[in-house]
């Protein structure tokens, strides 16, 4: 009668959504301030002032019939030109409006890109830990997700594991840096080595292997850490971007795909992206927010709040005896579970009103993810609970 697969996806919520819903119930029971909800990556920093100003300006000045009407399927040409200008200025690329497809956020950017590339029998590689929806998006194209573990010491790319995982069926490698859930930024040397491997494998197999870079956290980095722009390292690159985190606009659903003008037959790839957008119904992203982000190029939400949270949490938790990966970006802290089973540890943490996401679905068992995009006050109030939890495990 209906698709078993879709029924399953719609019935079994992700572990993150489960905890998020649990948090709502628990807050209603014992009060907002008594639940330390670290479950979801909803930015806690408000959108920057330019967003408010741009909304007011476009609502006041743009003809409402135009403002609320359909744009081109691939997005407003003026916005695409504005993004091209900004990206070129930042990264020395030579992109034009014709390299960009406007989407409803990174999830759509990824789904469209995968759909545009996937052929029967294809494999897509992701590095664990990875955003769990990758599996859903890849499998939805009928392709296989191949998981490559990161180096367990620093969660950088395990180069040998990558080289071993690429086969003649590999269509693309998905890279997410800064990473959700580890907060790790892949350093330039790691990028260079991975790109060299892919170049070599392309030659060996005689077909392109694409690099899909999922970058909703590009601007959320601390202490002058650089995030290499992949198009400058590897020709067959497709960027999946979103303003959800950089402008704190996750509910507005706006982002883009950029196809490198150095990719093999890039106009064909771009046409396939347009076709995939069409087939998935992801056309004409919200017009009002296309106009808003056009006016906010180069702006970012106040990252200093996340840095403060990172410093506070990382320092306290390592002092209490937790082993944490020190994040250079995004707003997640990846913490080794204090017992082997991270789900059991997450359940135990609930006794202290701490909501931590077990990382099994991120492909890395034995860890939990803490989303520290919360108020600094929530972190301060939660520290005694973290300490008590560590003590319960004899730390
Ligand atoms: N990719 C990663 C790594 C994410 O963390 C998220 C959201 O948290 C997404 C993609 C989806 O982003 P969006 O809300 O823009 O669709």
180 lines ligand 1 (CB under 6 A): yes
Closest of 277, 190, 202 to residue 235, by C-alpha: 202
Mutate which of 102, 130, 244 for ligand 1 pocket (most atoms within 8 A of beta carbon):
244
Contact yes or no for 329/185 (Cβ under 8 A): yes
Q: Show contacts of 197-206: CB within 8 Å, 24+ apart.
A: 197/159, 197/162, 197/163, 197/166, 198/166, 198/173, 198/234, 198/236, 199/234, 201/163, 201/166, 201/170, 202/236, 205/168, 205/170
Give the pLDDT band of residue 211 (cuts 50, 70, 90): very high
Q: What pLDDT sits at residue 18?
A: 87
Q: What pLDDT sits at residue 355?
A: 96
130 lines ligand 1 (CB under 6 A): no
- Confidence check: pLDDT of 104 > 90: yes
CA of 181 to the centre of ligand 1 (A): 11
Q: What pLDDT sits at residue 17?
A: 84
Q: Which atom of ligand 1 is nearest to the CA of 330?
A: 5
In the structure, how many helices (H) and strands (E) does the chain have?
A: 14, 13
Q: What pLDDT sits at residue 313?
A: 97
Nearest-CA residue for atom 5 of ligand 1: 180
Average pLDDT on 184-201 reads 98
Q: Which atom of ligand 1 is nearest to the CA of 255?
A: 15
CA of 137 to the centre of ligand 1 (A): 12
Name the region of 258 (left: φ>0; alpha: ψ -120 to 50; beta: rest).
Answer: beta
156 lines ligand 1 (CB under 6 A): no
Q: What pLDDT sits at residue 208?
A: 98
Contact yes or no for 194/157 (Cβ under 8 A): yes
Please report where in the chains the tokens 């395990």 appear, as a residue: 158
Q: Is the pTM of this model over 0.95?
A: yes
41 lines ligand 1 (CB under 6 A): yes
Q: What pLDDT sits at residue 214?
A: 98
Average pLDDT on 328-353 reads 97
Average pLDDT on 173-202 reads 98
CA of 356 to the centre of ligand 1 (A): 18
Nearest-CA residue for atom 8 of ligand 1: 41
pLDDT tens, residue by residue, 43-99: 999 999 999 999 999 999 999 999 999 999 999 999 999 999 999 999 999 999 999
Please state, rounded to an integer, the average pLDDT across all residues of the chain.
Answer: 97
148 lines ligand 1 (CB under 6 A): no
Q: What pLDDT sits at residue 98?
A: 98
Q: What pLDDT sits at residue 13?
A: 79
What percent of the chain lies above the pLDDT cut of 90? Answer: 95
- Confidence check: pLDDT of 345 > 90: yes
Q: Which atom of ligand 1 is nearest to the CA of 108?
A: 16
Q: Which residues contact 339 (CB under 8 A, 6 or more apart)?
A: 345, 348, 393
Nearest-CA residue for atom 2 of ligand 1: 131
CA of 200 to the centre of ligand 1 (A): 30
242 lines ligand 1 (CB under 6 A): yes
Q: What pLDDT sits at residue 14?
A: 82
Q: Which atom of ligand 1 is nearest to the CA of 131?
A: 3
pLDDT tens, residue by residue, 227-274: 999 999 999 999 999 999 999 999 999 999 999 999 999 999 999 999
Q: Which atom of ligand 1 is nearest to the CA of 107?
A: 16
176 lines ligand 1 (CB under 6 A): yes
Reported as half-sphere exposure (CB side, CA atoms, 13 A), residue 125 has a value of 26
pLDDT tens, residue by residue, 354-384: 999 999 989 999 999 999 999 999 999 999 9
Give the pLDDT band of residue 169 (cuts 50, 70, 90): very high
Q: Which atom of ligand 1 is nearest to the CA of 245?
A: 15
């Amino acid at each position: 009668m209906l698709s078993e697969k879709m029924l399953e996806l719609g019935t079994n919520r992700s572990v993150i959504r489960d905890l998020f819903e649990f948090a709502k119930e628990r807050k209603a029971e014992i009060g907002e301030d008594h639940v330390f909800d670290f479950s979801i990556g909803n930015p806690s920093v408000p959108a920057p002032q330019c967003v408010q100003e741009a909304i007011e300006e476009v609502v006041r000045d743009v003809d409402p019939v135009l403002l609320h009407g359909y744009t081109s399927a691939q997005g407003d040409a003026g916005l695409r030109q504005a993004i091209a200008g900004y990206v070129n200025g930042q990264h020395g690329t030579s992109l034009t409006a014709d390299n960009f497809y406007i989407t409803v956020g990174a999830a759509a950017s990824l789904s469209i890109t995968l759909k545009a590339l996937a052929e029967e029998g294809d494999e897509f590689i992701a590095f664990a830990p990875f955003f769990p929806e990758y599996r859903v998006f890849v499998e939805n194209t009928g392709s296989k997700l191949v998981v490559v573990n990161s180096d367990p010491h620093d969660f950088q790319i395990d180069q040998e594991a990558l080289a071993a995982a690429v086969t003649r069926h590999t269509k693309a490698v998905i890279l997410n840096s800064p990473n959700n859930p580890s907060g790790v930024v892949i350093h330039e040397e790691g990028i260079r080595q991975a790109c060299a491997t892919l170049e070599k494998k392309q030659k060996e197999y005689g077909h392109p292997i694409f690099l899909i870079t999922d970058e909703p956290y590009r601007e959320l980095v601390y202490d002058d850490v650089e995030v290499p722009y992949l198009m400058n390292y590897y020709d067959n690159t497709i960027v999946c971007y979103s303003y959800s985190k950089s402008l704190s606009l996750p509910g507005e659903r706006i982002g883009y795909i950029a196809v490198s003008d150095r990719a093999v037959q890039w106009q064909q790839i771009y046409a396939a992206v347009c076709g995939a957008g069409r087939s998935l119904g992801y056309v004409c992203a919200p017009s009002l927010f296309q106009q808003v982000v056009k006016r906010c190029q180069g702006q970012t939400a106040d990252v200093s709040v996340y840095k403060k949270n990172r410093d506070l949490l990382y320092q306290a938790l390592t002092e209490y005896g937790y082993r944490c990966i020190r994040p250079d970006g995004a707003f997640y802290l990846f913490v080794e579970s204090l017992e082997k089973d991270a789900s059991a540890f997450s359940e135990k943490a609930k006794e202290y009103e701490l909501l931590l996401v077990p990382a099994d679905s991120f492909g890395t068992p034995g860890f939990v993810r803490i989303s520290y995009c919360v108020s600094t006050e929530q972190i301060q109030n939660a520290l005694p609970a973290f300490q008590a939890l560590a003590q319960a495990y004899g730390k």
